[in-house]
Structure 1
Amino acid sequence: MNRDRLLDRYYQEIDTLIISRQTPLFGLLPASTAITVHGDYTDAWVRDNVYSILAVWGLALAYRKMDEGDRGRTYELEQRVVKLMRGLLVAMMKQSAKVEKFKQTQAPLDALHAKYHSRTGETVVPDDGWGHLQLDATSIYLLMLAQMTTSGLAIIQTSNEVNFVQNLVYYIGRAYRTPDYGIWERGNKTNHGKPELNASSVGMAKAALEAMNGLNLFGLRGGLSSVIYVLPDEIARARITLESLLPRESGSKEVDGALLSVIGFPAFAVDDPVLSIKTRDKIIAKLQGGYGCKRFLRDGHQTVIEDITRLHYEPGELQQFEHIECEWPLFFTYLLLDALFRNDHATAQDYRTRLDQLVVKQGPFGVLPELYYVPKLHIDAERQTPSSQTRLPNENVPLVWAQSLYLLGRMIQDNLLSVGDLDPLGRHQQGNQSKISSQPGKRRSLVQIALLAENVQLQTELATYGIATQTPQELEAIQVRQASDLTDLYAH
Structure 2
Amino acid sequence: MNTDQALKVLDQMRLPNGAYTASLSKDYSYVWIRDVVYSVLPFIQKPSERYEKAYHALLDLFLKYEWKIDIHRNKKPVQLYEYIHSRYSRDLKEMNAEWGHAQNDAIGAFLWGIGEGVKNGQRVIRDHHDIRIIQKLVDYLECLEYWTAKDNGMWEENMEVHASSVGACVAGLQAVKLIVNVKDDLIKKGEETLNHLLPRESETKETDLALLSLIYPYRLVSHDMALTILENVTSQLERTYGCIRYKNDQYYNEGAEAEWCFAFPWLGLCYDELGMIDKAEEYFEKTKKIVPEDWAVPELYIGGKNIPNQNTPLAWSVALSYILINRIQYSLTYRAVQT
User: Structure 2 length as normaliser, TM-score?
Assistant: 0.91
User: Structure 1 residues 105, 252: CA separation in 2 closer, same or farther (over 3 Å shift)?
Assistant: farther
Match of 2:199 in 1: 247
Corresponding residue number in structure 1 for 2:63: 93
Correspondence 1:83 to 2:15: no
Instruction: Give the alignment partner of residue 87 of structure 2, picking from 115, 122, 129.
Output: 115
Distance 1:330 1:14 in 2: 14
The aligned counterpart of 1:214 is 178
Equivalent of 1:408 in 311, 323, 331: 323
The structure having more radius of gyration, on CA atoms, is: 1
Q: Secondary structure at the match of 1:392?
A: coil
Q: Which of 187, 202, 226 is the equivalent residue of 2:166?
A: 202
Q: In 1, Cα distance between the equivalents of 2:36 and 2:96? A: 18
Deviation by residue 1:268-302 (Cα, 9 ceiling, x = unmatched): 222x4333222221111111112111111100101
After superposing on structure 2, the runs of 4+ consecutive aligned residues of structure 1 that deviate more than 3 Å are none
Which residue of the other structure, out of 265, 273, 283, is the alignment partner of 2:223?
A: 273
Aligned-residue offset at 1:164 = 0.8
Determine helix, strand or coil for the equivalent of 1:414: helix
- Alignment match, 1:283: 233
Q: What displacement does 1:103 show? A: 2.4
Q: Which residue of 2 aligns with 1:155?
A: 124
* 2:260 aligned to which of 328, 352, 356: 328
Relative to 1, partners in 2 of residues 1:403 and 1:49: Cα closer, same or farther, differing over 3 Å? same
Please state how far the C-alpha of 1:162 moved relative to its aligned partner.
0.5
CA displacement, residues 58-115 of structure 1 (integer Å, 9 cap, x when unaligned): 5xx3xxxxxxxxxxxxx7xx11221111111111221112212222232243211101
Provide the rounded CA distance (Å) in 1 between the counterparts of 2:169 and 2:243.
24
Give, as a single letter, the amino acid of the residue that structure 2 aligns with 1:406: S
CA contact (8 A) 1:99 1:110 kept: no
Structure 1 counterpart of 2:335: none
1:348 Cα deviation from its structure 2 partner: 0.8
CA contact (8 A) 2:104 2:151 kept: yes
Aligned-residue offset at 1:374: 3.5
C-alpha offsets along residues 164-194 of structure 1, whole Å, 9 cap, x if unaligned?
Answer: 101111222321011111011112xxxxxxx
Residue 229 of structure 1 aligns to a residue whose secondary structure is coil
Q: Distance in 2 between matches of 1:276 and 1:170?
A: 29
Equivalent residues of 2:259, 2:300 under 8 A apart: yes
Which residue of the partner structure matches residue 229 of structure 1?
Answer: 181
Letter in 2 for 1:278: T
Change (3 A) 1:42 1:172: same
How far is the alpha carbon of 1:375 from its aligned partner?
Answer: 4.2
2:96 corresponds in structure 1 to: 125
**Are the equivalent residues in 1 in contact too, given 2:22–2:315 (CA < 8 A)?**
yes
Q: How many residues are treated as equivalent by the alignment?
A: 328
Q: Distance in 1 between matches of 2:25 and 2:203?
A: 33
Paired-residue identity, %:
29
Q: 1:360, 1:369 within 8 Å by CA — same for their partners in 2?
A: no
CA distance in 1, matches of 2:107, 2:289: 33
Residue 395 of structure 1 deviates from its aligned partner by 2.0
Contact 1:292 1:328 in 2 (8 A): yes
- Residue 200 of structure 1: how far off its partner (Å): 0.5
Distance (whole Å) between structure 2 residues aligned to residue 53 and residue 275 of structure 1:
27
CA RMSD of aligned residues (A): 1.9
In structure 2, how many angstroms separate the alpha carbons of the residues matched to 1:343 and 1:274?
13
Contact 1:14 1:56 in 2 (8 A): no
Counterpart code for 1:248 = R
Match of 1:346 among 241, 265, 278: 278
Match status 1:171 vs 2:140: yes
How far did residue 350 of structure 1 move? 0.7
Query: Structure 1, unaligned stretches of length 5 or more?
Result: 1-5, 62-74, 188-194, 216-227, 305-320, 377-390, 417-492
1:297-320 deviation digits (Å, cap 9, x = unpaired): 10010123xxxxxxxxxxxxxxxx
Higher relative contact order (CA 8 A, sep 6+): 2
Partner of 1:372: 301
- C-alpha contact 1:14 1:55 (8 A) present in aligned 2: no
Conservation of the 8 A alpha-carbon contact between 2:208 and 2:246: yes
Separation in structure 2 between the aligned mates of residue 247 and residue 399 of structure 1, nearest angstrom: 28
Matched, 1:392 2:307: yes
- Worse overlay, 275-284 or 132-141: 275-284
Native 8 Å contact 1:99 1:112 kept in 2: yes
Which range moves more in the overlay, 13-22 or 339-348? 13-22
8 Å contact 1:101–1:110 — kept in the other structure? Answer: no
* Partner amino acid, structure 2, of 1:176: W
Q: Relative to structure 1, is the Cα distance of residues 355 and 14 closer, same or farther in structure 2, using a 3 angstrom cutoff?
A: closer
Q: What letter is aligned with 1:200?
A: S
Pair 1:21-2:10 in alignment: no
Distance 1:17 1:27, change over 3 A: same
Q: Is 2:182 the partner of 1:182?
A: no
How far apart are residue 339 of structure 1 and its match? Answer: 1.3
Rounded to whole Å, the distance in 2 between the matches of 1:175 and 1:276 is: 22
In 1, are the aligned partners of 2:44 and 2:120 still within 8 Å (CA)?
no
Task: State the match for 2:337 in structure 1.
Answer: none
Aligned partners of 2:197 and 2:242: how far apart in 1?
Answer: 24
Instruction: Note the alpha carbon deviations across 1:18-58, whole angstroms, 9 max, x for none.
Output: 1232111x1111111112xxxx2010111111111122345
Q: In 2, Cα distance between the equivalents of 1:367 and 1:138?
A: 28
CA drift at 1:415: 2.6
What secondary structure sits across from 1:103 in the alignment?
coil
Q: Quick check: 1:52 aligned with 2:4?
A: no
User: Distance in 1 between the 2:296 and 2:81 partners?
Assistant: 36
Look up the equivalent residue of 2:224 and give its one-letter code: V
